[in-house]
Amino acid sequence: MAIISFTDNLKRHVDCPPRDVAASTVMEALRQVFAENPRLGGYILDDQDRLRKHVAIFVDGALIRDRARLSDPLAPASRVDVMQALSGG
Amino acid sequence: MTTKLRVGTRKGLFIFEKSHGEWRCGEPCFLGEPVSMAMADPRNGDQYTALNLGHFGVKLHRAEAGSARWTEIAAPTFPKASDGDGPALEQIWELVPGGDRAGTLWAGTIPGGLFQSTDRGESWSLVESLWNRPEREKWMGGGYDKPGIHSICVHPHDSRLVRLAVSTGGVWESADGGASWNLTGRGLRAEFLPPDMAHDPAMQDVHRMVSCAASPDRLWIQHHNGIFRSDDGGHRWTEITGVKPSVFGFAVVVHPRDPANAWFVPGIKDEYRVPVDGRLVVNRTRDGGKTFEQLTAGLPQSKAWDLVYRHGLDIDASGEVLAFGSTTGNLWLSEDQGDHWQCLSNHLPPINVVRFDPAGPEEAPG
């Protein structure tokens, strides 16, 4: 199983503990989480299901390439980290 | 007289209440989060706060009357495009009650969407009749990258009659609850456009539009290049010129019962956007724009660089109390229609929106 976890900054707004997922892409993994936690989806994806501009996702330590469809592949034991990009003031 | 004032800032919502003759600020709500709009619904006391989280998108929260317990509710979202290349909500820029239609709310957004909820914000739908108008091709960003709807005026005696303004995109009216729209705004003039386009009603940069509650066909606009007044529901506008120290600004309010009384916060147009000569003044007209007074008592008259955003000025339901806040984090309030101002804080975060709560039933003006 892959494991997906979320930045602590997101936990301030919505409960989102780490979770095991059986998924072959980043989007599949997110869909599994959102099915149980639909409010979380709006914090990570925009109206068109693109990754929000200031959110970054790493798969096994590498930044994902497909921010529009989140099709980056996962290995069976991948680690997915949903982080916030640094910005603001 | 109003006793509660909501101040939405770059770093949270601050609620001031008048108690024992003094305006005091309670503990902040949503500390650290940018607040783009705040509203208390006069029909049932529902409180709304719109957030623009830097990383995680636009969120809308509601609390029941008198409660400090906020619950996240649905934010407007644009319909999904088949190619995935459609718009995404960037900001809730206006939020108003829908008049006598219980539970109905209107929201104006960036990009320039108008959304309606009929269930107190539990769900929203894009008003496609406006979104699909071909004139929207002419709308442009004004300060933000994308155009936005920042002013919505619901007729108090006929809630199907809705007027709104776009920066930049002019003035629009629906007489059928949003089913269809007319581009109005004849007489508005955009000095920043090529001369042959200056009067194109779909390209006007309205900074803020307000209507008089008792005479809703009487409206005022603070436009990018001037002040305009309409006496016919926004169809035709008269430009008010020669106002000192400047006709430039973002904010305007009108007295709730006397449409000839309006207030503005002028600045230097348009690259500077600071008070003229560092003197912060509020301009007031009592005669429909024939003459203006510069109100200064209690306001800094040197080295003041405060900018007041379009939602940063408000007047209460009695027409006596005004407040305004600046991007420098200063907040002033007057209880005599602007003759004298008191500073409530010099230390707030940059202020986006200032909103009085409606008077309670026992406080309603006679």
Residue of chain A whose alpha carbon sits nearest to that of B85: A48
The runs of H, that is alpha helices, within B124-276 are 128-131
C-alpha distance from residue B327 to each of A87, B247, B253 (Å): 20, 20, 18
Phi, psi of A61 (to 5 degrees): 90, 0
pLDDT tens for residues B77-117?
999 998 878 999 999 999 999 999 889 999 999 999 999 99
CA-to-CA distance for A36 and A15, rounded, in angstroms?
11
Residue A46 pLDDT > 60, yes or no?
yes
Q: Are B187 and B237 in contact (CB under 8 A)?
A: yes
pLDDT given for residue B84 in this prediction: 76
Helix extents (H) in chain B: 128-131
A47 with B77: Cβ contact below 8 A: yes
Tokens of A69: 């469809």
Query: Which residues in chain A have their CB less than 8 angstroms from residue B87's CB?
Result: 47-48
User: Complex ipTM above 0.90?
Assistant: yes
Least CB–CB distance from B55: residue in A50, A69, A85: A85
- Burial of A86 (C-beta count, 10 Å sphere; 0-12/13-18/19+): exposed
Report the percentage of chain A scoring pLDDT > 70: 96
For residues B343 and B332, is the Cβ–Cβ distance under 8 A? yes
Which of B55, B72, B86 has the CB atom closest to A47's CB atom? B86
Cα–Cα distance between B329 and B306 in angstroms, integer? 8
Do B251 and B311 form a contact (C-beta atoms < 8 A)? Answer: yes
Residues of A in contact with B71 (CB under 8 A): none
Residue B113 burial class via C-beta count within 10 angstroms: exposed 0-12, middle 13-18, buried 19 and up: buried
- Under a CB-based contact definition with an 8 Å cutoff, are residues B120 and B45 in contact? no
CA distance A46 to A41: 8
B57:A43 CB<8 A: yes
- CATH code of the domain in which A37 resides: 3.10.20.30
Q: Has residue A89 got a pLDDT over 60?
A: no
CB-based burial of residue A20 (10 Å sphere; 0-12 exposed, 13-18 middle, 19+ buried)? exposed
Domain count, chain A: 1
For residue B244, give both structure tokens.
């000192």
> How many angstroms separate the CA of residue A57 from the nearest CA in chain B?
13
Work out the minimum CA distance from B72 to partner chain A, whole angstroms.
9
Shortest alpha-carbon distance between residue B147 and chain A (Å): 17
pLDDT at res. B61? 98
Quote the tokens at residue B232.
């016919």
pTM value? 0.95
Minimal Cα–Cα distance from A11 to chain B, Å? 11
Return the number of CB contacts < 8 Å for A and B.
Answer: 55
A76 to chain B nearest CA, in Å? 28
pLDDT for residue B365:
43
pLDDT reading at A85 higher than 90: no
Residue of A nearest to B83 (CA): A48
Q: Do A46 and B57 touch (CB under 8 A)?
A: yes
Q: Judge: B53–A13 Cβ closer than 8 Å, yes or no.
A: yes
Using a CB-CB distance cutoff of 8 angstroms, which residues of chain A are in contact with residue B57? 42-43, 46, 52
**Residues of chain B whose pLDDT is less than 50?**
361-366
Range of the domain at A44: 2-88
State how beta strands A79-84 and A2-6 pair.
parallel
What's the pLDDT at B362?
Answer: 44
Q: B72, B64, B49, B61: which is closest to B352 by C-alpha?
A: B49
> Closest chain B residue to A10 measured between Cα atoms?
B56
Given a cut of 50, whether residue A68 has pLDDT beyond it is: yes
Contact yes or no for B326/B9 (Cβ under 8 A)? no
Asked if A11 reaches chain B (Cβ–Cβ under 8 Å), the answer is no
- Rounded to 5°, angle at Cα B197 from B115 and B230: 60
